[in-house]
């Protein structure tokens, strides 16, 4: 088994811990994207709500300097649900992700493969950077979009590797996980869970 974690909690607004299997049943990549459709439908609905919550959070922070706990909790749940779904649809794991809707920064522990624990910033927020958040995020959006395109190319290539060997090539899987990490950092920034600007790095 391989385990890994996204930067330590004391230096990051989110800790991404995964425990992914060394082997994947050869035929699983052919069907998991299809089996993931119910989760993707839920992700789409949650995403629409999350966008509305982000707008409400923007006004709350700009006018009061704080993010309401309930709004932050919902955003944490959405990001966690999205990444769990992505890990399954991208055949990084075989276990079907749970339909979990626990709205809390702390991971509820109902998925043993992917865990996300958040440390959302609620008080003493930087109103200026929040006010211009969309503009400030543009370079990161371009950076992560380019990486995401590359990651999907790698996933397509990995389909054939898993079909024939039952294993992800280690370098390919590491790259996809690093891109997921970059997306996660950007998402927590855009969803206003933190004022910490994401680094332009796969590290």
In order along its 203 residues, the chain shows pLDDT tens digits of 344 544 444 457 899 999 999 899 999 999 999 999 999 999 999 999 999 999 999 999 999 999 999 999 999 999 999 999 999 999 999 999 999 999 999 999 999 999 999 999 999 999 999 999 999 999 999 999 999 999 999 999 999 999 999 999 999 999 999 999 999 999 999 999 999 999 999 87
Res 105: pLDDT: 96
Domain assignment of residue 57, yes or no: yes
Domain assignment of residue 3, yes or no: no
Res 9: pLDDT: 41
Alpha-carbon distance values, 13 to 7, 29, 60, 95, 144 (Å): 9, 32, 20, 27, 18
In sequence order, what are the residues at sequence separation of 6 or more whose Cβ sits closer than 8 angstroms to the Cβ of residue 28?
91, 94, 162
Res 40: pLDDT: 97
Query: To which H or E segment does residue 28 belong?
Result: helix 28-35
Domain assignment of residue 197, yes or no: no
d(CA 59, CA 91): 38
Domain assignment of residue 200, yes or no: no
Domain assignment of residue 196, yes or no: no
Domain assignment of residue 59, yes or no: yes
Domain assignment of residue 199, yes or no: no
- Single pTM value for the model: 0.91
The whole domain housing 26 covers 15-190
Res 22: pLDDT: 85
DSSP string, 118-141: E----SS--HHHHHTHHHHHHHHH
Res 11: pLDDT: 59
**SS3 state of residue 3:** strand
Residue with tokens 């796969």: 202
Count of structural domains, the chain: 1
């Amino acid at each position: 088994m391989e385990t890994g974690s996204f930067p330590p909690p004391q230096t990051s607004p989110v800790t991404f811990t995964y425990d992914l299997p060394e082997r994947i049943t050869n035929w699983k990549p052919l069907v998991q994207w299809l089996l993931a459709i119910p989760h993707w439908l839920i992700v789409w609905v949650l995403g629409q709500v999350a966008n509305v919550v982000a707008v409400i959070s923007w006004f709350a922070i700009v006018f009061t300097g704080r993010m309401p706990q309930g709004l932050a909790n919902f955003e944490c749940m959405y990001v966690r649900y999205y990444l769990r779904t992505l890990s399954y649809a991208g055949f990084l794991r075989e276990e079907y992700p749970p339909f979990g809707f626990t709205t809390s920064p702390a991971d509820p522990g109902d998925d043993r493969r992917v865990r996300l624990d958040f440390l959302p910033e609620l008080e003493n927020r930087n109103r200026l950077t929040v006010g211009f958040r969309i503009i400030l995020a543009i370079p990161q959006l371009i950076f992560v979009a380019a990486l995401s395109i590359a990651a999907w190319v790698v996933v397509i290539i990995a389909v054939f590797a898993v079909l024939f060997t039952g294993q992800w090539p280690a370098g390919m899987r590491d790259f996809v996980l690093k891109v997921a990490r970059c997306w996660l950092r950007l998402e927590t920034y855009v969803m206003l869970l933190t004022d910490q600007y994401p680094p332009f790095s796969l590290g």
